[in-house]
């Protein structure tokens, strides 16, 4: 067996220490590999701390980050500070942020022991609470008004620099009973329901608050059905809803049933259910997550069959194209995020006893590719492994330490980003396994909070199975 481990020298970052890695050996296609999953979980959580907006806490572990966007929501008379910046930019897009939160919480709920064993459980609760707290702020009128975006994507993308230095106006965009937004309200309801489960044992009052808001947002999403980009047109070029809102209604109703055991939500989920959506799990499309969760909650064959149909499409011979190096290649924009999401869902199914051997082996192989077992022998996770990306499309890490200014000259610089974007999964290679570490390549070399959510949850799943033999 070829063993990949890491030499760990410690670099102090704030009040914590971060392992600085170098990976031995080159990638192979036949060996069983071992990785330091504890380290990866730690670094992925750090990525979410790098993405934090608002007033940072006293225990901030990212010394070059400071308070930012403290006036968000001022234009509408609400405090909408907080949350996560979406990607390499500084917009707070509600739909992908909510999906990232739901996915991270799903992983925490299913693989809690992995987080505990890695020493990351309490840190992870703190991580997801950052986005949940922000979503609670955005729900300004119970069941009637929700702010689904802060920041103008066009204006934001015309600037390059630190979030701490932003001076542009950051408008707040809402959905309400006059102009609804079922996708963003529904996904936020799902995130809050999942959050109520994760926090139930440690903070029951907070869990109750999340659950109350989840119920209200689900009712709002279901009652005032409308595609959210019709009411937040600024999001159209960035996170347009292609799949519609029925998947979010299924997803949120199923999560509410899991959180409450209230039969009305199971009845609602059944009414929203549609078979035949077997392409992907993503910020836009939650159908297959709904298939898995409905099977998990009911054990009914239809849901298992639909989920297995999705997984069969991704496994070799099922329809998904594979690169010469063995990567299941769904589409060019952020290809690795689709793999990671699918790996995570497969590992949840494996834990529940569904095709455990096949799903575990496939997921481990795809994650191996991401971590460095690929034709380039290189990691696609910043700050981890061999030859990771050092020029990700990410504005704040591209900026030199203060008091130096930061702008488009830093975007065009050929030098590595001055700050390490710990734990961030980049978009990934093309269909021929080719990749260039270019800051201007937002298709292959950008990062997002959505990308890392499935990746981190898949790592937690692999950590969970680490010492469990295959069936």
Beta-bridged to residue 173, according to DSSP, are 149
- Count Cβ neighbours within 10 Å for each residue of 81-99 and write b for 16 or more, e otherwise: bbbbbbbbbbbbbbbbbbb
CA distance 179 to 2: 57
- The residue among 326, 289, 343 whose CA lies nearest residue 463 is 343
User: How far is 205 from 211, CA to CA, in rounded Å?
Assistant: 10
β pairing state of 172-176 and 321-322: unpaired
CA dihedral (235, 239, 244, 245) in degrees, to 10, reads -80
In angstroms, the CA 82 to CA 129 distance is 11
Instruction: Say what the alpha-carbon torsion angle 300, 338, 430, 383 is, to the nearest 10 degrees.
Output: -140
In the sheet that 92-93 helps form, which strands lie side by side, from edge to edge? 92-93, 145-150, 172-176
* Phi, psi for 194 (deg, rounded to 5): -60, -40
CA dist 461 and 109 (Å) reads: 11
Cα(230)–Cα(457) distance, rounded to whole angstroms? Answer: 32
Q: Which of 280, 356, 446, 450 is catalytic?
A: 446
Reply yes or no on whether 415 is catalytic: no
Given the residues 112, 133, 203, 437, select the one marked as catalytic.
Answer: 437
Q: What is the dihedral of CA 328, 334, 339, 342, to 10 degrees?
A: -130
Q: How many distinct helices (H) and strands (E) make up the chain?
A: 18, 7
Rg over alpha carbons for the chain, rounded to the nearest Å, is 21
Q: What's the half-sphere exposure (Cβ side, CA atoms, 13 Å) at 438? A: 9
Clarify whether 446 is annotated catalytic. Answer: yes
Annotated active-site positions, please? 437, 446
């Amino acid at each position: 067996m070829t063993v990949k481990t890491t030499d760990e020298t410690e670099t102090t970052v704030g009040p914590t220490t971060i392992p600085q890695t170098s990976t031995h050996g080159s990638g192979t296609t036949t060996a069983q590999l071992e990785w330091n999953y504890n380290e990866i979980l730690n670094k992925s959580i750090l990525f979410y701390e790098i993405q934090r907006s608002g007033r940072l806490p006293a225990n901030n572990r990212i010394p070059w980050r400071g308070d930012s966007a403290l006036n968000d929501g001022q234009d509408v008379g609400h405090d909408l500070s907080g949350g996560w910046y979406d990607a390499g930019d500084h917009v707070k897009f509600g739909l992908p942020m909510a999906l990232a939160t739901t996915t991270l919480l799903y992983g925490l709920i299913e693989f809690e022991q992995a987080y505990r064993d890695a020493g990351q459980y309490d840190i992870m609760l703190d991580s997801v609470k950052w986005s949940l707290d922000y979503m609670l702020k955005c729900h300004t009128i119970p069941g009637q008004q929700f702010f689904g975006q802060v920041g103008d994507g066009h204006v934001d993308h015309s600037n390059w620099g630190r979030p701490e230095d932003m001076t542009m106006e950051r408008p707040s965009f809402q959905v309400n009973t006059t102009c609804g937004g079922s996708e963003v309200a529904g996904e936020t309801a799902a995130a809050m329901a999942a959050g109520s489960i994760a926090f139930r044992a440690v903070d029951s009052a907070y869990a109750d608050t999340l659950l109350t808001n989840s119920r209200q947002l689900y009712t709002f999403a279901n009652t005032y059905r409308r595609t959210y980009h019709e009411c937040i047109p600024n999001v159209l070029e960035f996170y347009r809803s292609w799949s519609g809102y029925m998947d979010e209604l299924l997803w949120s109703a199923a999560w509410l049933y899991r959180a409450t055991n209230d039969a009305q939500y199971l009845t609602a989920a059944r009414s929203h259910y549609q078979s035949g959506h077997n392409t992907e799990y993503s910020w836009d499309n939650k159908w297959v997550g709904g298939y898995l969760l409905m099977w998990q909650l009911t054990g009914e064959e239809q849901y298992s069959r639909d989920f297995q149909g999705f997984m069969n499409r991704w496994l070799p011979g099922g329809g998904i194209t594979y690169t010469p190096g063995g990567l299941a290649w769904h589409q060019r924009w952020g290809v690795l995020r689709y793999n990671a999401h699918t790996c995570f869902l497969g590992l949840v199914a494996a834990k529940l006893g569904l095709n455990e051997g096949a799903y575990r082996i496939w997921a481990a192989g795809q994650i191996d590719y991401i971590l460095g077992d690929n034709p380039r022998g290189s990691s696609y996770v910043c700050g981890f492994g061999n030859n990771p990306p050092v020029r990700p499309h990410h504005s704040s890490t591209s900026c030199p330490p203060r008091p130096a200014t930061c702008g488009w000259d830093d975007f065009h610089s050929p030098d590595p980003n001055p700050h390490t974007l710990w734990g961030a999964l980049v978009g990934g290679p093309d269909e021929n396994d080719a990749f260039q570490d270019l800051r201007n390549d937002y298709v292959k070399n950008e990062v997002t909070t959505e990308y890392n959510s499935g990746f981190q949850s898949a790592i937690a799943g692999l950590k969970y199975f680490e010492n469990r033999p295959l069936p």
